[in-house]
Amino acid sequence: MPSYEQLSELLDPVTTVLLTVECQQGVVGQDSALPELAKEARSSGALANVARLVAAAHESGVQVIHAIAERRPDGRGANRNARLFRAAERLPVQQLTGTTAVRIVPPIEVAEEDLVVRRLHGLSPITGTDVDALLRNLGCRTLVVTGVSANVAIPNTVFDAVNRGYTAVVPADAIAGVPSDYTPVMIRNTLSLVATITSTDDVLACFKRPRRPPRA
């Protein structure tokens, strides 16, 4: 874990963006298409910690981006080149554009200044979406990655962020995957090699600074 001074330097509110990944009703909500993942996200405290981080980001003026995975009812533009995608097509809950399934799940609150980016294809909220351009326009240098899942989207996000020159910070208790014992193994053996691993409480401590002036 980095020291407070090291983490505080990385998490300058002017150059930090908090990203939530697939924290949507149809993924981690009560009527999830992936009930095992939804249960883990809640029981582990990860979802509650994402909500705490989002609330603190709003308070401190750190920009928040919510990344949503969805598909059109007709499936146009969606991937079918992996078993994961084909299995998702058969799930009883579909992440369809405009439905409750693609709304941000409580207790996470979406503020007016938040950005919501939706993708119709792929595994990453960065590749093939507006996220990279938005981060650059916002002057982002450090990306705090939270959400699900530790199996696929979270590592994909971290790799994409690092490949594009951002510093990735991952609060280990604000991400979740299945089974529950997989997440710490993946963090220790993979994410720790490319990202700064920390905790929700440590990020919150760094966020508790005077609110920055709004971006022009």
Q: Residue-wise pLDDT tens for the chain (216 aa)?
A: 888 899 999 999 999 999 999 999 999 999 899 999 999 999 999 999 999 999 999 999 999 999 999 999 998 998 888 888 888 888 888 999 999 999 999 999 999 999 999 999 999 999 999 999 999 999 999 999 999 999 999 999 999 999 999 999 999 999 999 999 999 999 999 999 999 999 999 999 999 865 555 555
Determine the number of helices (DSSP H) and then strands (DSSP E) in the chain. 10, 7
Q: Note the pLDDT of residue 193.
A: 98
Please tell me the distance from the alpha carbon of residue 111 to that of residue 8, in angstroms, as a whole number: 24
Longest dimension (CA), the chain: 50
Q: What angle do the packed helices 200-207 and 46-60 form, to 10 degrees?
A: 10
The encoded tokens of residue 45 equal 């405290």
Q: With beta carbons less than 8 A apart as the criterion, state whether 84 and 152 touch.
A: yes
Q: Note the pLDDT of residue 88.
A: 84
- Classified as helix, coil or strand, 193 is helix
The one-letter amino acid at 162: V
Please tell me the distance from the alpha carbon of residue 51 to that of residue 57, in angstroms, as a whole number: 10
Q: Note the pLDDT of residue 92.
A: 84
Q: Note the pLDDT of residue 213.
A: 55
Q: Note the pLDDT of residue 215.
A: 53
pTM of model > 0.85: yes
